Structure 1
């Protein structure tokens, strides 16, 4: 049986890439909800319906575990998903805790979608780990659209980032947390905007580490060889083209 990977679009390839590196002995089914991307500015009620439909599709394909490779989907639906389905489900969480632990007491910037930053799950995380009020956060919803349009040129992305960050003193940040799975596709642009001393991290590695633990706990590890099946709610050749291009970028950046 395969591991399902679900995202609103193609940002989840950044998690899939990590899974392929850390779990090459697994096969994967990736589902992109391209009919409804981006998720970050839609209502919770809409999203829960879309998410359940997507996971129903993957369940019917016979998956043994699921990565919800979307911070927004995790924020709004992870509890309901775990209540409904009997296979292990791993969600995403912005890597705020390691950023604070390894940041030497300096400030941390979290980038995510508007809905992720509004949700109780995120604010509970901040309350738990940000005891010294050193975390700032900013929504960058346009980056999802840039990624889904395969617009990665620094000439477009860097001016956008600098404009959004113009109200911040970016020299004060020890760590930047990319809290949307689309955002690591722009890591090269983030590196040029922030100083070389600023670490840029995301939650992909920690998510796959958790997946490994769950597979071992349930004795369902292995049985594949890195094969990937791709599906999208849009079902178009253009979607498949975007998936391939984003996966290539995720492996090369």
Structure 2
């Protein structure tokens, strides 16, 4: 057993969708979450920039003595996790678009993926797509979705119009699964459901990441079985949106530059 915290980082508030799944599955674990909102979105940055920011975030969490790091960001995972694992001696859990379950279960043999430019252009993403050549995969970059979420505009008219522009061509091409390839996007599910026909299923990676986190902690004898956890969130931007998404009286939000 280790009372050290689980560390998580994301380009901003979106990775809290992953944090919620982890906290639900592992309710006794201390957690430290880093929201690098001042540098969001990562999806428009170069691979080199993403690696640099991911290393900076990792070192921040290592200074807090975390026992494992969850890269709660698709863009950071697909562009930087290989470098992180080779540089640091700590277990890393990544998050990638859940292409496999969608491809295996699709009845129309057509699935849609909504993700950031950084994820769609990554080598890791390309390999995942190539391994499912029997399925038509429609890729769509979610331009400007992350900035709107970061600014608390999830249910805005602008958000709805963008989502219609991105999703309607997928609907017309008969997708039956929509894969959300960014940890910010689960917060859009209520709005997305208003646009998609009811038969189209939405998949994100949160639950799978939580289970993998538990498995790695178990393998390393690091699980906590019973304690009142501390839930700490660091942000380098105004914490209002972060607080509203967490909606937790137990969460401690700290605003600071890093």
Task: Tell me the TM-score normalised to structure 2 length.
Answer: 0.90
2: distance between equivalents of 1:101 and 1:24?
32
CA displacement at 1:46 relative to structure 2: 1.4
Structure 2, unaligned stretches of length 5 or more?
249-258
- 1:150 is paired with a residue whose SS is coil
- 1:63 is paired with a residue whose SS is coil
Which structure has more RCO (C-alpha within 8 Å, separation ≥ 6)?
1
- 1:220 is paired with a residue whose SS is coil
Q: Is the 8 A contact 1:154 1:189 kept in 2?
A: no
| Alignment correspondent of 1:175 | 177
Structure 1, unaligned stretches of length 5 or more?
none
1: distance between equivalents of 2:111 and 2:170?
12
Structure 1 residues 20 and 55, CA, compared in 2 at 3 Å: closer, same or farther?
Answer: same
1: distance between equivalents of 2:134 and 2:24?
36
1: distance between equivalents of 2:83 and 2:97?
20
- 1:108 is paired with a residue whose SS is strand
Structure 1 residues 47 and 135, CA, compared in 2 at 3 Å: closer, same or farther?
Answer: same
Q: Is the 8 A contact 1:4 1:63 kept in 2?
A: yes
Does residue 78 of the first structure (1) align with residue 81 of the second (2)? yes
2: distance between equivalents of 1:168 and 1:10?
27
Does residue 120 of the first structure (1) align with residue 123 of the second (2)? yes
Structure 1 residues 226 and 195, CA, compared in 2 at 3 Å: closer, same or farther?
Answer: farther
| Alignment correspondent of 1:211 | 213
The correspondence of residues 130-149 of structure 1 with structure 2, limited to 5 A, is 130-149=132-151
| Alignment correspondent of 1:241 | 240
2: distance between equivalents of 1:188 and 1:142?
18
2: distance between equivalents of 1:226 and 1:126?
39
| Alignment correspondent of 2:65 | 62
Greater shift after overlay, 148-157 or 2-11? Answer: 148-157
Greater shift after overlay, 170-179 or 195-204? Answer: 170-179
The correspondence of residues 14-93 of structure 1 with structure 2, limited to 5 A, is 14-93=17-96
CA displacement at 1:171 relative to structure 2: 6.3
Cα RMSD (Å):
1.6
The correspondence of residues 102-121 of structure 1 with structure 2, limited to 5 A, is 102-121=105-124
Task: Tell me the TM-score normalised to structure 1 length.
Answer: 0.91
Q: Any runs of at least 4 consecutive aligned residues in structure 1 with deviations exceeding 3 A, and if so which?
A: 165-171, 223-226
Work out which of the residue numbers 191, 194, 197 in structure 1 matches 2:193: 191
1: distance between equivalents of 2:242 and 2:163?
24
Aligned length: 244
CA displacement at 1:166 relative to structure 2: 4.6
